[in-house]
Chains A and B, each alone.
Chain A
Amino acid sequence: MLVTLISVIGDNQVSIVGGLILAFLLYLIAFVDKSSGYTSGLNEFALALWRLKWLIAVVLVPQLFFEQLAVAFLHTGRVLDAVLLASIFSATTKNADLIRAIEKACQPLARMGVRPEAVSLVFAMTVNAIPMVIQFVANVKEAQQARGLNPKITLMAVPVLVASLKYADEFSEALLARGVEV
């Protein structure tokens, strides 16, 4: 919710800096431990910023050519806030809890014919499909390298899509076998 809020209304310096401070404080609290106190949170925050260096570069650099400096930093800060808050959220929230929360949140929609358990299942499967698709990309890349090709997105798109569709097909069969009515 915070991520959405900051992404949508974060169009001034105060909210952007506020978001950054909020993310920083949440990192300190989330990663606090008995032996090192708040140091591990500080390290995690620094690490998260370091991991985002290319994202920051990709978002910031083109804007420096077309926008005023303040606007470019404002837009980059908004993205940075959203990603940092999203990553602290995913680092501190178990998928099972998230799935249960989604299911509960959808309960009022049951009157309108929405099946909350189906919505949460779709979410769980989406989370689950990410490593599979990453694996397909790695496999296709490797197969193309083995054939002496230089893997490019254009060359990889079709085999990855085919593998994903085949996976979806077989996965639906596996769901049926586990008693899920798709």
Chain B
Amino acid sequence: MLIELDSVLVAFGSKTALDRISVTLDQKRIGVIGLNGSGKSTFARLLNGLVTPTSGMVRVGGIDVAKDTKAARKQAGFIFSNPDLQIVMPTVFEDVAFSLRSSKLSKDEVRAKVLRTLKRFGLQDLADEPAHSLSSGQKQLLAIAAIVINQPKLIIADEPTALLDLANTRAVAELLLEELEQQVVLVTHDMSLAERCDVVVRFDNGEILEIGDPKTVVAKYLRVHA
């Protein structure tokens, strides 16, 4: 799916988060790196309509995100770094089923689809557990399951492994970078994950400093900041 940003400026009061950036991306795994405050999270939020550009245009899959935010959100799921934020309903099953609330499926169809999805993510035995009692890794898998069940075309993950241990980071990374059929935009500080993407976009001070081969972009970034 084509992600197009045309001269996008995002300003919060007097602070400029993104300074007239233009970029076109269509790779399946897009890594986004940069220091804190460089604009990478603002970029990710633009794609889902969580942030509206002050000027310029954001188009994802041909949809102008600012004009048709509802359609843009339907095709692009968003995963936050803190999985606790994404849990809406009390139990694991209910939370995944919540994503299907506006579907036309019957109660039995919803149940079958949710159980299928939970099984895919290894959460089937936890279906009736309180969602908040899960481990951080399981919660992040739950958050991804709740997004994937709606079959979006694009998944935007903003530092999804930031609060996870090594084993859970590996599990979530495998899922996002290898298993999911969707296009993924992965904002990360973990350079080993960025290197596994098809392309890496490096942000610096509200601008795109570099786009290109993951290993090359990451190596340059590490030379400057490591």
Contact = CB atoms under 8 A, between A and B. Distances in A.
Q: Does A pair with B?
A: yes
Interface of A: 94-96, 99, 117, 121, 124-125, 127-128, 131-132, 135, 167, 170-171, 173-180
Interface of B: 48-50, 70, 73-74, 77-78, 80, 82, 84-91, 93-94, 97-99, 101-102, 130-133, 146-147
Given A132-B132, A177-B50, A179-B73, A170 B90 contact: no
Contacts of A175: 88
A117 B98 CA distance: 11
B139 to A, nearest CB: 12
A125 B132 CA distance: 12
A178 B99 contact: yes
B73 A95 contact: no
A179 B91 contact: no
Contact of A125 (B77, B88, B91): B88
5 contacts: A117-B101, A125-B88, A171-B85, A174-B86, A177-B78
A162 to B, nearest CB: 16
B85 A128 contact: no
B88 A124 contact: yes
A168 to B, nearest CB: 10
Contacts of B133: 131
B65 to A, nearest CB: 13
Contact of B90 (A127, A167, A176, A179): A127
